[in-house]
Structures are given as structure tokens and as C-alpha cells.
Structure 1
Amino acid sequence: MHNQLLLKDFLKNNERFYVGKSLFHSNIKSNFHSHDFYELFFVEKGTFIHYINNEKYYLPVQSIQFIYPEDRHCFSAKKDKETTITNLAFYFSDLDDKCKLFFNKIRQDNYNQEIPSVYALDYQWSSIFSKLNNLKQMPVEVQEYYFQSIIYDYIFIYNINISNNQNNEIIPRWLHHAKEEIKEQDNLVIGLKKFIELSGKSQEHLTRQMKKYYHKTPAQWINQLRLEKMETLLLTSKMDILDIIYDVGFHNVSYCYSLFKKKNSLSPKDFRERNRRIFDA
């Protein structure tokens, strides 16, 4: 069960566009809803958790998401974090003909599923967000130009995201987020269980997507990170080797030694002794 939000309930006087800012805490989750309007939302702060059409995505700062009226979605913030987003809501009739064709086409290209979120580089974000913040401050006769410029900026960013990914494939935002978050010490120690939790997907789906985009299983990615951290600690600390093994998240010492020797052709002890002189110099 969900609500349908109506744009007329947000507009005042003769306004055509709605711009609003929302702050989410980790203990707040909005209700599932759809709209009678189109929407762009911009992640200003924190990590935004977006539930849309039975999928879950983690969107970092400077992410932008386009929403169709029929998309059923809700949001929350990452645990123990605050997230700020700004929404731009409008009717499809406010778009010019070229933009209408663009949004209809990418909807079809995504098989009527949600459009992937995009990530704006600093200069792109500064440009589009400045216009967004100033939109409602402009005289009414100028607002139309600002609005169209924001939409064209978004289309530009979307196409840049497409072209910057190999084979014109966009790495899912949830996968990129989970892959980066698992690097955190506490997450790395927990390992695969935490990786699955961070992804918001099943283990099977996470494995398929990791193989597709990174040519590794989730477990292989975790072990690679653990070995890299282990190498760093061997060279930059005086920690006991067993303590390092457990600190990076390995629970089976012989398995860790096997992986380490396969990667470096040296045992952890020999690796430390052979390479440490570089750091002691």
C-alpha cells in the first residue's frame, strides 16, 4: 500500500516547479509513494538509501536520481548518519520536446525500470546545484530558462556517465558503494556477510554482478583487500604476524598463509624481512 503525491499540494500561487530540501536520519524512513509528477533528487550530504521498484540502492554525495511518476519508492539514511537531499519536482509538460524524447527513450532502454542514478563530478555538481538553489529566487519570467538548463545539465551528466563506462555499461551505484564500504576496517573483519548486507542484494546476485564488472567473486575481493592491508601492516608496524592475520579478518591461519604465498611468492615473515628495509631507511 502506498500514497500518490500530487504536485499541486506542494506548489504555491502560480508556481510551476517545486524545489524542496529534506533531512533524513537513520531512524526515519519515508512511506512508499508514487507521484503525478516527475522528479530529480540531488544527494547533498551523507549516503542516501533509495528503495525503488523493489530494489535497494546506496547513493553517495553528488548522486542524482531521476524519478518517473509511476516509480514506487521511498528513502532513508545510512545507519547512524544524516542525509540531505534536494528535490526538483515538475510536470512532463514543462519539458521541451527534445527532453521529452530523451526521457521516453531511456525509459524504454531500461525496460521500463528505474533509470540508473548518475554521479556528478565537482564542476558538474557546482554548476547544476547553483542553478537549482537559485531557481526559485529568479523572476518568474527567468525561471523557465533556469529549469531547462538544469534538465540539460542532467542529461549531459547522464551521457557522460554512460560514455565513461566500458561497453557503455553503468556499474550499478549499489555495487560501487558496497565495494568501497567493505574496505572499512570493521566491515572487512566481518567479511562476506557484511558485503551482502551493504549491497542490499542476495549473495547470488552480488556474485553475478561482481563477476560481470570486476571479474572477481565477493570472497575474492574481500581476500584481496585483506591481503593488501596485511602487506601494509607487515611493512609499517611491529605487530605480531598472527595478530595481523586476525586483525585483517582472516580466521584460518593456514588458509591465509596459502593465499599470501600465492600472491607474493613469500611467507608473511619473509615478505616483512625482505621489504622492510625500504621503510626503515
Structure 2
Amino acid sequence: MNMTEIPIAREHQLFNGHNFHVFIFTKTESVSGLHQHDYYEFTIVLTGRYYQEIDGQRVLLERGDFVFIPVGSQHQSFYTAGATRILNVGISKRFFEKHFQSLFPCEFTAAQAYAIDTHFLAHIESVITSHHFRENEFDEFIEVVCFYITNRLRHYRDEPIRDTVPLWLRNTVEAMHDKLKFGDAALENMVQLSGKSQEYLTRATQRFYSKTPMQIINNIRINFAKKQLEITNASVTDIAYESGYSSPSLFIKTFKKFTSFTPNNYRNKINSCNEE
């Protein structure tokens, strides 16, 4: 192979005659490097955050984001923010073009993060953490997710164009992922980082993210807590305080509100899923 040749992942080597090739796992590094496929693929972030470089452009993906990789797009991933749990679905070229091609938008940008509705993301998590996920109606569930993803892409340009997030706000939210910032006095830290008044910050986060500052902070905290539950044996109490909550009970209540699971239930389901 010469230096400019890009490796190609082949459908016939991975799919074994099936319509889909599905992985659900926690990754800390890329093992494939820059490559392309002769099939379609999308990746949904369930926990954590990472970068995808697609056709030379780098895209940040966080919980609830996905990218769709068409046939031939060159891409690689970077896990500079640590462990990231993903749902990765490869779709047979034949199956996609037969069932989904007609829904696919004429104009499409691969190097872009798209967001999944919070309720649908909760549904995905609920299904894939069930004990019998791979035994009951697996293909049907994946088909539903594929339809949602394709439909999301189709309607993306029909949505009102949102204002570009100003650099000061984007940097503020980025800095809040530091554990020292989303812990004690998180709201005060966010206000200080922004350099704005709390009222101005609140108006900005609601305008550009459709969330209050505390909703953004809780998203960051719960995302962090999920990673700890997935990759460590730390107690729920320790994780509660480490995630910035003043008490385990408040943490459990907030965690269940965001995920529909208690922390222990979530950990047990993730562990049982990983053991299958």
C-alpha cells in the first residue's frame, strides 16, 4: 500500500450477509485510523464526547449527537476527552439504497454533527441496556433508528436557521466540562467564565442552546457520572459528590430524571450488556 492509499472497510468482511453491522462500546482511542467504507454508517454518542474528522474537517460530537458517513467518505476519530460510549451502525449499501435512499436529502454535509431528540435518545438507551436486546426484534429496532436518523437528516434544512453560537459562549460551555468548574459553585463559575452577568448568560444559553445555564451544567454532570458508572467501581455516593452534587439523594433524583434509571440500575444494565 502506498502512502496516499486509504484503507477501505468492506461490507462483505463485516456484515456476514446481514443488513446491519452494530457495535455498542466504550472507546478511548481509535484503532482504525483514517479509512473509508463501501457501506453507510452512523455513530451516536451515548456518553462522553469525541472528535470525528470527516473529509478533512474535524467535528466535535457530544452526548445525543450523531454523524452520518456516506460511502467513500474518509474519516477517523479522536478521543482526546477520554472514554466515550457510542452506538455505531453500519448499513448495507444494498439495504440502504433500497429502503432509505429515497428519504435521503439531495444536499448533505457529512462533516457536521446532528442532534437527536432527547426523548428518542432515552428510548435508544432504554432498549440497548435491556437484558434481551440482542434476542428480541433486534433488526426491527435498528431499522427504526435508521429511519429516524435518515428522517432527521432529511428535515434538518427545513428547520429555522439558528444563530451561530458566539465564541465567548462556546468557550464558556467548553470550559465547564472541567471537573473543577462543574463541581462546587458551578453556576457562579460559569458566570465568571462568561464574563457576563447571570441574566445575560441565561438569555444567551436559552437563545443558542434552548437551555438554562443550570440545565447545561446538569447535562455535563450527568454525562460525567455516566462515564464513571461505566468505567469505574466507585460508589454512587462518591460519584455523586465527584459530579458536583451536594447529596447522593439529589444526584439520584437528577440522574433518574435525565436517564430514566437510578445510577445502580444504569450500572447493572451496562455491565450486563457488556458481558453478553
TM range (shorter): 0.5 to 0.7
- Rate the CA distance shift 1:116–1:153 in 2: closer, same or farther, 3 A: same
Q: Which amino acid aligns with 2:53?
A: Y
* SS of 1:15 mapped into structure 2: coil
CA distance in 2, matches of 1:40, 1:86: 8
Find out whether 1:18 has 2:21 as its counterpart: yes
Q: CA deviation at 1:120?
A: 1.6
CA distance in 2, matches of 1:170, 1:115: 19
Q: CA deviation at 1:53?
A: 0.7
Q: Which amino acid aligns with 1:87?
A: N
What is the TM-score of this pair, normalised by structure 1?
Answer: 0.52
Equivalent residue, structure 2, for 1:151: 146
Which residue among 173, 182, 189 is the counterpart of 1:180? 173
Equivalent residue, structure 2, for 1:215: none
CA distance in 1, matches of 2:66, 2:192: 32
CA distance in 2, matches of 1:186, 1:123: 27
Q: Which runs of 5+ in 2 are unaligned?
A: 182-190, 202-276
Which residue among 47, 59, 62 is the counterpart of 1:60? 62
- Rate the CA distance shift 1:160–1:90 in 2: closer, same or farther, 3 A: closer
Q: CA deviation at 1:137?
A: 2.5
- Rate the CA distance shift 1:28–1:94 in 2: closer, same or farther, 3 A: closer
Equivalent residue, structure 2, for 1:9: 13
- The size of the alignment, in residue pairs, is 184
Q: CA deviation at 1:23?
A: 2.9
CA distance in 2, matches of 1:117, 1:64: 6
Contact 2:8 2:36 in 1 (8 A): yes
Between structures 1 and 2, the one with greater helix share: 1
CA-atom RMSD in angstroms? 4.0
Contact 1:132 1:150 in 2 (8 A): no
Q: Rg bigger for which structure?
A: 1
Contact 1:29 1:74 in 2 (8 A): no
Q: Which amino acid aligns with 1:181?
A: E
Contact 1:41 1:86 in 2 (8 A): yes
- Rate the CA distance shift 1:6–1:21 in 2: closer, same or farther, 3 A: same
CA distance in 2, matches of 1:158, 1:150: 12
* Deviation sequence 1:63-99 (CA, Å, 0-9, x none): 12111111100002133x2112121112232137562
Q: Which amino acid aligns with 2:88?
A: N
Equivalent residue, structure 2, for 1:241: none
Structure having greater relative contact order (Cα 8 Å, sep ≥ 6): 2
Q: CA deviation at 1:136?
A: 4.1
Q: Which amino acid aligns with 1:91?
A: S
Kindly, what percent of the aligned residue pairs are identical?
Answer: 12
CA distance in 1, matches of 2:18, 2:114: 28
- Rate the CA distance shift 1:28–1:185 in 2: closer, same or farther, 3 A: closer
* SS of 1:150 mapped into structure 2: helix
CA distance in 1, matches of 2:135, 2:120: 21
Equivalent residue, structure 2, for 1:102: 103
What is the TM-score of this pair, normalised by structure 2?
Answer: 0.53
